[in-house]
Amino acid sequence: MSSSIKLIAQAPQITPEMLQAVSQRVQLPPRRLGTTKSEWHEVEVTHAQARQWSRELGIDINLMPMQAQWADYRLMAFDMDSTMITIECLDEIADYAGRKAEVAAITEAAMRGEITDYNESLQRRVAMLAGLDASALQAVYDERLKLTPGVEALLAHAHAQGIQVLLVSGGFTFYTDRLRDRLGLAFTRSNQLEIVQGKMTGRLIGEIVNAEVKRRTVLEVCEQLGCTAAQTMVFGDGANDLLMMRVAGMSVAHRAKPVVQDQATHAINYTGLDSVLGWFAS
């Protein structure tokens, strides 16, 4: 294990007790102190240890190379539901059809990796929307869709660094198109709901954006940009994000299911997405 690794602890408020607890575990004093972030340099810590300590102490703990730079990355790829935004759009649409509990239960199982056929599970959930007025889509956007805390600051920094942003989602074009325009995203890919005479038919149009399509989309965008997958950061929360996370140079689990937390290179559970800004050399 390289000693050129730093450990970064982040929380809404770093307390003396937190500092002491981390220092005891790494057997080193902190090198940089702050009210929301502190660092320990040249640590000998594994990913599994960092995850365990994070759970024990209720703070975000991540490992980074000491000399990591923003210039190392060319693309950020985001899942949408529960990652870039705080809700699961399909669950909220289903609420207007009186089917939220049924749909949400399938969504949760799929995100935890307990459903192997993602396509079938998505088609089953979408079928429950048949006959619902398409105005429900706009109502969800206007009344329920909220951006994840910190995402706007993170995206602003990415744009300033010349990093392109991809939003790739098992959700719907109705929302990814609006987020693309609202946030200045370069690329989007998602599923298209079939709507006939103002009503949802309960069917999708075209290829379903599943885990493999997400992975393929990341690689295709990298090819367009002339960069490698190692120059990509991928953000996700569910099992259908794992394939694209595995090809990325950095994978960030955002308040993610356990299967994702265990496999991602980094995790955010207690702070905003803008905590990523504190991971790089200043």
Positions annotated as catalytic residues are: 79, 81
DSSP string, 35-80: SSEEEEES----HHHHHHHHHHHTSEEEEEETT--GGG--EEEE-I
User: What would the two tokens of residue 57 be?
Assistant: 């102490």
Whole-angstrom distance, CA of residue 122 vs CA of residue 204? 9
SS3 (DSSP) at 152: helix
Phi, psi of 126, rounded to the nearest 5 degrees: -65, -35
Is the separation of the CB atoms in 65 and 4 below 8 Å? yes
CB 96 within 8 Å of CB 183: no
In the DSSP assignment, the letter for residue 161 is: T
Helices (H) and strands (E) in the chain, counts: 11, 10
Residue listed under structure tokens 């539901």: 81
Q: What are phi and psi of 18, to 5 degrees?
A: -65, -45
